[in-house]
Structure 1
Amino acid sequence: MDRFGDWIVMLAAASLMIWWLFRRFDHWLHEPPSSRLRKLAAAGGVEDDDTVHLLQENGFEVLSGKHRISLGVILDDGPVRPTRLYFDYLALKESKYYLVKHERARQPMEWTASGLRERLLVYALLFPDCEGIIIVNAQEQQLKTVRFKVEAGER
């Protein structure tokens, strides 16, 4: 880098890199909260089944289906252990997003506050822009909506 032209090229490259990083950070900072959900809605296809018909009969627009969220778990500074979370559909009603899960016979839902918390809170925390989580019981043609509300606690 003895020549003056080399310094100009390096300065131009560094300037472009800084400008690009600033633009990415600004885009991330001003991204609307529901953009993750819109990306999920565009990612998955919808199968034509009884659950979709039941949701549509109840005023929901089914946006996408069969989602898998990959997670990694680290225990005591050990290796990353992969795991996944699944939900069945992403639905929209009155401009509000809902995650949809099937109630399965082999894993029945415990309809107590602690049972719902243990089973569904992770979805509410991963997708705070969702209005709720809809549990579909296809055998009984029944929908139940679960919402979590953080209350002012005692100290």
Structure 2
Amino acid sequence: MNERYDWLLMILLGVVIALLIGYRLNRWLMSPSPDRLPGIPINERIPDHPAIGMLEEEGYDVVGGKVKINLSFETGQRPIHSRLFVDYVASDDRGELYMVKVSRDRMPVDWTGSGIRDRLMPFLLLYPECAGLLYIDMNEQVIHRLGLDWSDEEWIGNDEYNS
């Protein structure tokens, strides 16, 4: 009779160990990659600009000034260097951080899906832990709040494909 309990105990112990290994493996696979950027950098020097007043009127608190993000691309022949700039970092009343871009006359945003993707999506991909991006259009005096959402749906704009 004792052999029967020994086998039962060994099977139970094996199941518990397998579950523990599966849990730890899943946790390891779902953890953020260490080579990702470690959160948005905050520059404590905040130069005065009319955009700051607009942000404060909308309930945002500017917590950081201009941040330069250095990029390096390996092309196979030689590295190519570039950079992105975030004009400000702001937080809302819940403490969520937003990157802020101020409009430039020489670099207008085409407010279409592809225009936003090409011009503003790199910022949202660099720091996915941010709540989004605030784009301030100084000409129209408006703040656009952008977030990124992944979708598996196909978007077809032409009605002949919808049949």
Q: Distance in 2 between matches of 1:78 and 1:153?
A: 38
Count of matched residue pairs? 121
Using the TM superposition, give the Cα deviation of residue 102 of structure 1 relative to its aligned residue in structure 2, in angstroms: 1.0
Residue of structure 2 equivalent to 1:139: 139
Counterpart-to-counterpart distance in 1, 2:111 and 2:50: 23
Q: What pairs up with 1:122-133 in 2 under 5 angstroms?
A: 122-133=122-133
**Structure 1 residues 53-99: Cα deviation after superposition (integer angstroms, max 9, x where no partner):** 11111100101111110010121x11111110111001000211111
The runs of 5 or more residues in structure 1 that have no matched partner are 1-28
Percent of pairs with identical residues: 29
User: What is the deviation of 1:153?
Assistant: 4.0
Residue 54 of structure 1: aligned partner: 54
What residue number does 2:105 align with? 105
The answer to whether the 8 A contact 1:34-1:129 is kept is no
Structure with max Cα Rg:
2
**Contact 1:133-1:146 within 8 A present in 2 as well:** yes
Gaps of 5+ in 2: 1-31, 155-163
Q: Cα RMSD (Å) of the superposition?
A: 2.4
Q: Is structure 2 residue 77 aligned with structure 1 residue 78? A: yes
1:66 & 1:107 partners in 2: Cα distance?
Answer: 17
Native 8 Å contact 2:37 2:126 kept in 1: no
Dislocated runs of 4+, deviation >4 Å: none
Q: 2:48 aligns to what SS in structure 1?
A: coil
Higher strand share: 1
